[in-house]
Structure 1
Amino acid sequence: MATRIRATATTAAGTPRLRRSTSEVRELLLKAAHDCFQDKGYHATSTREIAQRAGVTEPMLFRHFGSKSALFERAVFDPFVEFIADFIVRASDLDAAAAKAPQLARHFVGGFFRIFVDHRDLIVTMLGQQDEGGQPRLAASVALDAQFDAFAEVVDSFVSVEGEQIMDAGLAIRFTLSFLLGTALADGHLFSLSEGDRSPDEVVQEMTDFVLRAIGHRIV
């Protein structure tokens, strides 16, 4: 029986190295970029450091992402895009007539708030990134906008079953995200979410109720 041999490459030290697939390389680079940016910040992190941590060459980094800023956007935006995509799939599997809007809202609020808290420093850096003309550099937000639009349709289907209506579900979602981001950024300044009498779950529930009341949902 013939033995199948996986193609290998040779490192600078002359030792064989298994070739990685495109998806594997991108995953390694995104993880390395996230860790480097989190540890040292955007400006103090070099593409060479990211490539070395990922175990790939610097030219390979540019081949996959084009620039340091593009890699940064992907490292920060991907968790949001993935969460919404997974959320839409889960929501689509639910029976809108049986499920309740508050349940959907709590999952959305809790999930996004955890992402904002976990990536707080990176998000602040991302929001401060500008192109040469002084405009926000958020190319990856195009993918995020498409996910928001798809999610807005899910929200409409759930609230309509309960006999309610949101004037603009897309704006309601974006307002909610602004509220959650602001809350995450204000932690330790305006109030402390890690201290006090309320547990993290209770805080998420309070924020969920706040959002539901803001869009006109009747909380029983």
Structure 2
Amino acid sequence: MSDTIEQWFEEILKLDAEGNKMTEKQSKILQAAIDVFAEKGYAASSTSEIAQRAGVAEGTIFRHYKTKKDLLLSIVAPVMAKLIAPFVLRDFSKVLDAEFESYESFLRALIDNRIEFLKRHMNVLRIMIQEIPFHSELQQQFQNVVLAQVLERLGKIVSKFQAEGHLIALPPETIIRLTASTVMGYVFIRTFYGEREGAIWDDEFERQATIDFIIRGLGTKQ
């Protein structure tokens, strides 16, 4: 089990909604489920494989979780409610609370911040990326817990740069969407392709090209 996963589970144990710590078997089951779901995806995973990886009988899983989907939700829902929103905002605060002279310098800091976040929490985030589009319960959690808080903070930043004349007069939500889709495209391609052995990837060039693309489209001529 990686240090990253252990860090996530230490937080889950501390922030359980009922204030109760998980049993040792529950913790082992969830840790095994994270590994299996991240490797194979939810649909291709089996409770028998999760049980084997956790070192418990398959029946033990069903004593704690009625279905495989309950097991998935027990991982992702508390992670989003208790961890991702605070972690995203805590990490973002390093960027959002700083003062930047231009939107370009803000973007560079934002990209560095998100890359570091992905490195620390890859397995659980991989599960969320894989499963959120296919489970309405997770979509609702993501919208209510994560997006609402992040968009509010980013909206204030965008409005500030617009007032200073750095950005064109589009709705802040539109600027956030266009910026986020471009930055996320760069970060994910960098993570899943650029860091592969033998990949042809000039990271500084790609990063600056991403920033220049956003500024040409959304920035004002100074």
TM-score, normalised by the number of residues in structure 2: 0.58
Residue-pair matches, total: 190
Q: Does 1:151 align with 2:156?
A: no
Change in 2 beyond 3 A, CA 1:207/1:76: farther
Question: What's 2:9 paired with?
Answer: none
Distance 2:94 2:40 in 1: 36
Amino acid in the other structure paired with 2:39: D
Native 8 Å contact 2:102 2:166 kept in 1: no
Aligned to 1:84: 88
Q: Does 1:169 align with 2:192?
A: no
Q: Which residue of 2 aligns with 1:43?
A: 43
Contact in 1 for aligned 2:47/2:61 (Cα 8 Å): yes
Q: Deviations over 1:82-134 (max 9, x none)?
A: 5530244224542x3x6543222112234435639956864552254145xxx
What displacement does 1:138 show?
1.0
Structure 1: which amino acid aligns with 2:40? K
CA contact (8 A) 1:73 1:138 kept: no
What is the letter of the counterpart of residue 86 of structure 1? R
| Deviations 1:27-57 (CA, angstroms, capped at 9, x unpaired) | 8776544322112221233457657867896
1:199-218 equivalences in 2 (<5 Å): 200-218=203-221
Distance 1:91 1:187, change over 3 A: closer
Give, in whole Å, the separation in 2 of the partners of 1:47 and 1:176: 40
- Measured in 1, the distance between the counterparts of 2:37 and 2:92 equals 29
- Is the contact between residue 186 and residue 207 of structure 2 (CA under 8 Å) also seen in structure 1? no
| Residue identity opposite 1:109 in structure 2 | I
Aligned to 1:125: 130
- Distance, in Å, in 1 between the alignment partners of 2:37 and 2:201 is 34
What stretches of structure 2 of length at least 5 have no aligned partner? 1-12
Seen in structure 2, the aligned counterparts of structure 1 residues 34 and 145 have a Cα distance that, compared at 3 Å, is same
In structure 2, give the amino acid aligned to 1:126.
Answer: E
Counterparts of 1:61 and 1:209, CA distance in 2: 51
Q: Secondary structure at 1:140's aligned position in 2?
A: helix
SS where residue 139 of structure 1 aligns?
Answer: helix
Equivalent residue, structure 2, for 1:34: 34
Residue 179 of structure 1 aligns with which residue?
A: 182
Change (3 A) 1:101 1:196: same
Look up the equivalent residue of 1:85 and give its one-letter code: L
TM-score (norm 1): 0.58
RMSD of aligned residue pairs (Cα, Å)? 4.6
User: Equivalent residue of 1:108, what SS?
Assistant: helix
Partner of 1:108: 110
1:196 paired to 2:197: no
Classify 1:69/1:188 alpha carbon distance in 2 versus 1 (closer, same or farther; 3 Å): closer
Max Rg structure: 1
State percent identity of aligned pairs. 21
1:138 — aligned with what? 139
